[in-house]
Structure 1
Amino acid sequence: MLNKHFFLTLSLSTILLAGCSTTHYISITPEADVQTASLTNDRVINVSTNTQLNNSIGSIKTGINERADIFTTNDIKLSVKESVLKGLRELGFTPDQGLMPAADLQIEISKMSYTTEVETLKTIATLEFELKATLAAKGQTYKANYGSQKVREYGTMPYQQAVQDDMNALASQTVNRLLSDPNIITLLK
């Protein structure tokens, strides 16, 4: 009986020391948040998105040896495109109406990451989201980069919903930077 109790205690201690490993599956859906305006366009606005990134965003490792890999569950290219189009419509543009040739807005999702480092028992997470835009309109080409970064600190593993909320806030902030760029607005008018 004593050996059985000792073995059970040893087994539980080993499990606790080994840490916990899990996977966070999140959906990245940026929200455009722009002031409604009455801007107009005379040319069709063609928005396209692409990325070389896969659905792995990163991983979390805490000071108490918890670990979680983070993956997206949706098509990030489609969600960024829909968010930009929604924002353009809120600004007053009608992307699918106008003359040809179209104004061509190409957006590349160049960075989407969640990385952590441990200091004693505190975990420091760095979240990043970046877009590269190229707009060809009115005989001109305009290129710009938009990025957002956020640093979070915690002691234990954050919930999947918290990770999703943080990444979506960052993606939304980045999309809104693109939509508020005066050079983009001027070339689309």
Structure 2
Amino acid sequence: MLKKQLFLSLSLSTLLLAGCSTTHYISITPQEDVKAATLSNERVINVTTSTNLTNAVGSIKTGLNERADIFTTNDVKQSVKESVLEGLRKMGFTPDQGVMPAADLQIEITKMSYTTKVETLKTVATLEFELKTTLAAKGQTYKANYGSQKVNEYGTMPYQKAIEDDMNALASQTVNRLLSDPNIIALLK
């Protein structure tokens, strides 16, 4: 009986040390959080988004040797564009109405990452989301970078939903930084 318990304990330990591997699929859909306002624009506002990033966001390796790769399932460029346009509308702008030439707001998604490092049995995750913008309006060009970072600590593999929620919160913070930039607002008015 003692040999059987010892065998079961060793087998369980081996399974834990071998770890498991999985894949997390998340959808990045930033939510704008701006106050309704009565701003208006004279010119059409043309919003374009681009990125050189792939749908691979990062990977997780925990202290228990659990592993997971993280990929996006949606077009992040499109979801960022929709979020910015919705935020502009809430502020009172009418992006599709006005005179030409249009105010040109170019947004590049430059970073979207989830990286981990193991410290003893604790896993430290660093999440990052960054945007680079160029706004050409009223004969001026304004360039700015917006970024958000979050550090999480945990012992075991986080759930897919938790990763998605954290990445969306970060993307939302970044989009809201862009929308609350007084220089962007001044050039669009």
Length-normalised TM-score, structure 2: 0.95
Give the CA deviation at 1:10: 5.8
Displacement of 1:20 in angstroms is 1.1
The aligned counterpart of 1:86 is 86
Paired amino acid for 1:44: V
2:63 match: secondary structure: coil
CA–CA distance in 2 between the matches of 1:17 and 1:116?
Answer: 18
Secondary structure of 1:132's counterpart equals strand
Moved more, 178-187 or 5-14: 5-14
What is the percentage of aligned positions where both structures have the same residue? 82
**Residues 75-118 of structure 1: per-residue CA shift (max 9 Å, x gap):** 00000000000000000000000000000000000000000011
Deviation at 1:14, TM superposition (A): 3.1
Per-residue displacement from partner, 1:153-181 (whole Å, max 9, x unpaired)?
00110000000000000000000000000
Question: Counterpart of 2:129?
Answer: 129
Cα shift at 1:17: 1.7
Unmatched 5+ residue regions in structure 2?
none
Query: What's the offset of the Cα at 1:9?
Result: 6.7
1:6 CA displacement: 8.3
1:80 corresponds to which letter in structure 2? V
Distance 2:11 2:116 in 1: 29
Q: 2:102 corresponds to which residue?
A: 102
Match of 1:182 in 2: 182
CA distance in 2, matches of 1:64, 1:9: 16
Give CA deviations for 1:133-155 in whole Å, capped at 9, x if unaligned.
00000000000000000000001
Counterpart code for 1:113: S
Residue matched to 2:47 = 47
Give the Cα–Cα distance (whole angstroms) in 1 for the partners of residues 173 and 84 of structure 2: 12
Structure 2 partner of 1:173: 173
**Cα displacement (A) at 1:16:** 2.4
Q: How many residues align?
A: 189
Give the ranges of 4+ consecutive aligned residues of structure 1 lying more than 2 Å apart after TM superposition. 3-16
Name the amino acid aligned to 2:38.
Answer: S
